Amino acid sequence: FDICESAEEAGPGQRKPCLRASTSDGILRGDRYENGERGLRRGRNLSSWSRAFTSIQEEMAEDPLTYKSKLMVVVKMDASIQPGPFRAVLKYLYTGELDENERDLMHIAHIAELLEVFDLRMMVANILNNEAFMNQEITKAFHVRRTNRVKECLAKGTFSDVTFVLDDGAISAHKPLLISSCDWMAAMFGGPFVESSTNEVALPHTSKSCMRAVLEYLYTGQFSSSPDLDDMKLIILANRLCLPHLVALTEQYTVTGLMEAAQMMVDIDGDVLVFLELAQFHCAYQLADWCLHHICTNYNNVCRKFPRDMKAMSGENQEYFEKHRWPPVWYLKEEDHYQRAKKEREKEDYLHLKRQPKRRWLFWNASSSPSSSPSSSAATASSSSSSS
């Protein structure tokens, strides 16, 4: 893929260029023959487009996968391009990486020059100048550009060769990218299944938002959400397609959303109850563990609000709740015993104080009776106390 360098220079009245495969954009779509069928003209000359290619045409060739002869698109390269270096160039175009120990670096640079792959040419120059460490930044930039362009291909359906028919519409996709990223897709499109020979695949009980998230993950390795995305339906679809990493990413996204809602004082107990057994059934074990922890931590509140749902839980889950609930049963028993003992003690103290006789004390100031001695004053206070 290539983006025209003059995109930013286009004037207001000019058409701005968009994503295209190369300056030969439109060749692979084919032309109509005289009989009305679409296809590629035999021996179409490409020398004016690039020095790397001489012609492109359809002819009978051996399929590298099935080893059977079939009609295929054949692109003839310039004689100066050798198979080994060209394979290294293809590896770069797929992965963004170049092995430092490649022997034919000059031939690779030559092919990169012909194909106008300037980043690859720069990587070769860095290796020759003993500055291969600089290639890491080139590889990072490559993946960013590749991710953006693949997303655009997915959004526009450029070069798509299969359509998924879903409950609420259809989405176009690309078999090579699906096969390389998903074993389930590889088995479906490469095995003895009906889908391997058709351009339409029906996926019932699947929405466009979920399928779009799956395709974007398969194309870029990244998870992206949308307002209409149902987290649990995406987990179900990802588990169905044997994509455990996508399941884990969706679990993380779901838990983050639940925690943020709880911090905003939103009641999430009902959602957690719904998610629990669905997550357990569809192998979202991390989400299931979080749901168990939330229910056990808020056990009394959940039981008070959803008694029927709690009783309808599986026996295994109910056993887990009884074992890990907070506060636990032993704590409640101890607290009840403490509260009863505290009330009994308070009652006893009250009765004891009530039975105690009241005592009154009377003191005289020594200055008021100078003739009295300290001993007589003490005796007077004692007698007054006894008389009272």
Give pTM, 2 decimals: 0.72
pLDDT at residue 73 is higher than 90? no
**Domains defined for the chain, CATH in brackets:** 1-57 (no CATH), 58-149 (no CATH), 160-242 (3.30.710.10), 267-354 (no CATH)
Handedness of CA 334, 336, 339, 340 (dihedral sign): negative
**For residue 369, what pLDDT band results from cuts at 50, 70 and 90?**
low
Could you tell me what percent of the chain has a pLDDT over 70?
79
| Strand ranges in 63-94 using DSSP code E only, listed in sequence order | 69-77
Which one-letter amino acid corresponds to residue 163?
T
For residue 370, give both structure tokens: 């100078």
pLDDT tens for 245-300 read: 999 999 999 999 999 999 999 999 999 999 999 999 999 999 999 999 999 999 99
Beta strand 38-39 with 31-32: parallel, antiparallel or unpaired? antiparallel
CA dihedral 364, 366, 371, 372 (to 10 degrees): 60
Q: What does pLDDT average to over the chain? A: 83
Which one-letter amino acid corresponds to residue 150?
V
Q: Are 46 and 53 in contact (CB under 8 A)?
A: yes
H helices of 264-328, where?
Answer: 269-281, 285-297, 299-305, 307-311, 315-324
Give the position of tokens 């949308």.
Answer: 226
